């Protein structure tokens, strides 16, 4: 029998993932392959017990068996924070839903600060923009921790074409890791990449571009899903994706990122994957909306959070604050608010007098 508590005593490197959903679990698989014993914090103890007993995440990534090394399981679920951080993890990953990140950290601020101080890197895997404040995850973490210097010394953002299922199946995957400090970004690249190149990180210092891309791509995916659901074809979907990439680049540049930052794994790479695959939760939400399913039912059909729905409102609010014209994001928002049908929203984009791409 494999001990689910072995990681407390193992000499393997330690890592902790906050958030036991599909993506958090998949990132734990990636860390395990790189020699880490990983504890995953998840708020539901009954689901933690079920995962530990079955050796797989039954509520988020069913069928993907936890990795084992030398007869020892590399992952352990727990709803007890102290259990998850008691061994001073070297790597910490924040993979809770974006709209819950601030409260999660604020409610545990002292322990979060202590954990960050002892860790080598803290990886932000939350994707989206905070509703109400229009702030990106890195800024939310800075404010929630209350120590900007500590966050800047530890935090990196990860994004890229990383479907959880394929990560858990150890299929070749590339991603971007970004930090304000180049040395920290390189450290994260080394800790998260595998020697065989199966998991390959690319270091960046353009935190804003990476965060904007990882957030807005989910909105683009909803739009692309609507196109697919209406049977408009690949030409229309490519046009929608191109418009989405432009809006990502525009928001990024206006916020201080590099306009060309979209040409990364976090930008083009993630958008191409998320906005063109039926494995994408956000793409599927868009398809169902186009086929007449209401938003509440479409969201209920997903086992995990479709971040594009809350992010869409947040990015529209952000665009308006910045004085930007974001027709694709506005169109998706009008559908989510039931002000327009998907057909009307996409027709409005096609009816623009001039394509925004021509303005550059």
CB within 8 Å of 57: residues ≥ 6 apart: 20, 22, 25, 51, 64, 77
Q: How far apart are CA 73 and CA 32, in angstroms?
A: 9
Mapped onto helix, strand or coil, the DSSP state of residue 72 is strand
Which percentage of the chain shows pLDDT scores above 70? 93
Q: How far apart are CA 151 and CA 149, in angstroms?
A: 5
Whether 108 contacts 84, CB under 8 Å: no
CB within 8 Å of 200: residues ≥ 6 apart: 172, 173, 174, 175, 193, 194
Query: What's the pLDDT tens digit per position in 238-249?
Result: 999 999 999 999
* H or E stretch covering 284: helix 281-290
Mapped onto helix, strand or coil, the DSSP state of residue 70 is coil
Q: How confident is the model at residue 297 (pLDDT cuts 50, 70, 90)?
A: confident
Q: Clarify whether 217 is annotated catalytic.
A: yes
Query: What's the pLDDT tens digit per position in 27-50?
Result: 999 999 998 999 999 999 999 999
Q: How far apart are CA 233 and CA 97, in angstroms?
A: 32
pLDDT at 360 over 70: no
Note the pLDDT of residue 299. 73
Query: What's the pLDDT tens digit per position in 240-282?
Result: 999 999 999 999 999 999 988 899 999 999 999 999 999 999 9
A 10 A CB-CB count for 359 gives 9
Question: Considering the entire predicted model, what is its pTM?
Answer: 0.92
Whether 158 contacts 192, CB under 8 Å: yes
Note the pLDDT of residue 352. 59
pLDDT at 353 over 60: no
Note the pLDDT of residue 304. 59
Query: What's the pLDDT tens digit per position in 124-173?
Result: 999 999 999 999 999 999 999 999 999 999 999 999 999 999 999 999 99
pLDDT at 7 over 70: no
Mapped onto helix, strand or coil, the DSSP state of residue 235 is helix
* H or E stretch covering 291: none
Please provide the average confidence, as pLDDT, over all residues in the chain: 91
Whether 282 contacts 225, CB under 8 Å: yes
pLDDT at 293 over 60: yes
Query: What's the pLDDT tens digit per position in 101-131?
Result: 999 999 999 999 999 999 999 999 999 999 9
Q: What is the mean pLDDT of residues 64-73?
A: 86
Q: What is the mean pLDDT of residues 197-224?
A: 96
Q: How confident is the model at residue 307 (pLDDT cuts 50, 70, 90)?
A: confident
Among residues 217, 299, 321, 337, the one annotated as catalytic is 217
Whether 92 contacts 155, CB under 8 Å: no
Q: How far apart are CA 66 and CA 79, in angstroms?
A: 18
pLDDT at 207 over 80: yes
Mapped onto helix, strand or coil, the DSSP state of residue 201 is strand
Note the pLDDT of residue 359. 46
């Amino acid at each position: 029998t494999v001990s689910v508590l072995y990681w407390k005593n193992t000499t393997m490197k330690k890592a902790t993932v906050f958030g036991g959903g599909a993506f958090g679990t998949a990132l734990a698989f990636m860390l395990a392959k790189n020699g880490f014993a990983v504890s995953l914090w998840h708020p539901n103890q009954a689901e933690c017990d079920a995962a530990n007993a079955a050796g797989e995440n039954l509520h988020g990534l069913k069928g993907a068996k936890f990795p084992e090394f030398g007869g020892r399981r590399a992952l352990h679920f727990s709803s007890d924070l102290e259990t998850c951080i008691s061994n001073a993890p070297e790597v910490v990953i924040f993979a809770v839903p974006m709209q819950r990140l601030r409260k999660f950290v604020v409610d545990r601020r002292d322990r979060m600060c202590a954990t960050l101080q002892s860790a080598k890197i803290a990886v932000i895997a939350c994707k989206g923009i905070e509703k109400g404040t229009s702030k990106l995850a890195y800024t939310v973490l800075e404010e929630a921790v209350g120590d900007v210097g500590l966050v800047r010394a530890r935090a990196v953002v990860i994004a890229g074409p990383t479907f959880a299922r394929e990560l858990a199946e150890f299929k070749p995957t590339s991603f971007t890791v970004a930090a304000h400090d180049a040395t920290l970004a390189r450290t994260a690249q080394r800790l998260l990449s595998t020697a065989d190149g199966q998991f390959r990180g690319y270091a960046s210092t353009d935190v804003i571009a990476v965060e904007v891309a990882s957030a807005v791509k989910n909105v683009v995916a909803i739009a692309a899903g609507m196109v697919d659901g209406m049977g408009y074809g690949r030409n229309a979907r490519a046009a929608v994706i191109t418009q989405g990439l432009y809006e990502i680049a525009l928001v990024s540049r206006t916020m201080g990122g590099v306009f060309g930052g979209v040409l990364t794994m976090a930008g083009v790479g993630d958008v191409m994957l998320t906005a063109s695959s039926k494995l994408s939760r956000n793409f599927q939400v868009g398809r169902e909306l186009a086929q007449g399913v209401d938003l509440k039912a479409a969201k209920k059909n997903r086992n995990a959070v479709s971040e594009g729905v809350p992010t869409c409102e947040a990015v529209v609010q952000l665009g308006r604050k910045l004085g930007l014209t974001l027709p694709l994001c506005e169109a998706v928002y009008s559908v989510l608010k039931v002000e327009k049908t998907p057909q009307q929203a996409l027709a409005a984009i096609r009816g623009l007098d001039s394509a925004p791409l021509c303005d550059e």
